[in-house]
Amino acid sequence: MANLVLSACLTHYAEVARACGLDPIAQLLAVQLAPSCLEHTDSKISIDGVWHLLENSANEAHVEDFGLRMAEKRQLSNLGPLAQVMRAEASLRKALETLQRYLHLHNEGFMILIEERDGIAVIRGEQITHRQLPARQSIDLILGVTYRTIKTLLGEHWQPQTVCFRHKAPRDRSTHLRVFGTNIQFNSVIDGIVCRSVDLDAPLRGTAPVGARFVRQQLDARGTASESVVDTVRRLVWQQLLTGRFSIEQVARQLGVDRRTVHRRLMRHQESFSSILDQVRKEQVIRHLRDSKHSQSEIAEFLGFSGLSAFSRWFRQRFGCSPRAWRKAHMN
């Protein structure tokens, strides 16, 4: 099933497109998105279409920072009810955990991950894709929105240590410098925001906790209604493999059940945990081999294999060649 995103993700698209000399309606039609989605921001549209729309627009306008220009104009309020719940949290950590929990209601193709070590926190942005899609503009957009969200919650005085992008630097860095300041790293191994761990525990000026509890209940109800158990398990497997803390027991704990119940619920949908894991591994391994500098041993560990030989056998069975041969054939 194709991932979907709320059309609110295109807030300020038409404005930026026109400023770059493009016809936004023609651009939307070219990727089979209905022009009405610019007005009805709560409709669900194809993530594939949105990502191609942003990349096509950037290419046709010869503007490498198209997505970031959209992010520059965003407000926390663009997240709708979710913004109210985030503002009522006690700390940035709690607000980001709320964003993690409910982001799929806005965007089924992206997730926020938080990793900490030795007093340093990394707030990563990761795509959830069924197939490989152009990513530069969508990454700039989501990291720009995440950065502006944190600034709104903590205040304009807050500054990260570094903002990292996997892609190379644009020829004109002025928009990146205007949005993020000077601490930017391109050609990085991650897309994310690096800050101190203590920043995550900085207090927020919470507002209307009673109202926020009601809104949270509504979001929980929407999540239950909109996401099947297969979708939920798939999203959790994606998240856990990316953080290197994968186990079926971990998935079961996050669902509030035991592992047998997970298997039983998946069987009702003619699915199994192993089939979902296999599909997610196939999606993630291609990106690791194509877009990262990690060794095969590191990739095997990321994907939860017991060792390099087990990973190599699995890869050859799925792709008909070794990981080394695939990487060599698909190098940019």
Same domain? 148 vs 271: no
For residue 206, being part of any structural domain is answered with no
d(CA 157, CA 135) in angstroms, rounded, equals: 30
Contact assessment for residue 176 and residue 170, using Cβ atoms and an 8 Å cutoff: yes
Per-residue pLDDT tens digits for 282-327: 988 887 887 767 889 988 988 889 899 999 999 999 999 999 999 9
Residues ≥6 apart with Cβ < 8 Å to 302 = 241, 242, 244, 284, 288, 294
pTM comes to 0.79
Same domain? 144 vs 251: no
Per-residue pLDDT tens digits for 277-290: 998 899 888 878 87
d(CA 204, CA 114) in angstroms, rounded, equals: 18
> Which long-range CB contacts under 8 A does 155-158 form with residues at least 24 apart?
158/199, 158/202
Contact assessment for residue 153 and residue 76, using Cβ atoms and an 8 Å cutoff: yes
Same domain? 115 vs 20: yes
Q: Which amino acid is at 210?
A: V
Same domain? 59 vs 166: yes
Q: CA separation (Å) from 281 to 111, 127, 255, 296, 299?
A: 16, 14, 21, 14, 10
Contact assessment for residue 106 and residue 6, using Cβ atoms and an 8 Å cutoff: yes
> What integer pLDDT is reported at residue 222 of this predicted model?
74
Provide the domain count of the chain. 2
Q: Which domain, by its residues, includes 189?
A: 4-200
Same domain? 248 vs 117: no
Domain containing 55 — which CATH number?
A: 3.90.1520
Per-residue pLDDT tens digits for 33-53: 999 999 998 899 998 899 999
In the predicted model, is pLDDT for residue 212 greater than 90?
no
d(CA 197, CA 225) in angstroms, rounded, equals: 35
Same domain? 116 vs 175: yes
Tell me if residue 264 falls in helix, strand or coil: helix
Among 200, 217, 241, which residue terminates a domain?
200
- pLDDT band per the 50, 70, 90 thresholds, residue 129: low
Per-residue pLDDT, averaged over 106-128, amounts to 87
Domain containing 256 — which CATH number?
A: 1.10.10.60
Same domain? 44 vs 176: yes
- pLDDT band per the 50, 70, 90 thresholds, residue 80: confident
Closest CA to 238 of 189, 188, 278, 295: 278
Residue 119 CB burial class (10 angstroms; 0-12, 13-18, ≥19): exposed
For residue 90, being part of any structural domain is answered with yes
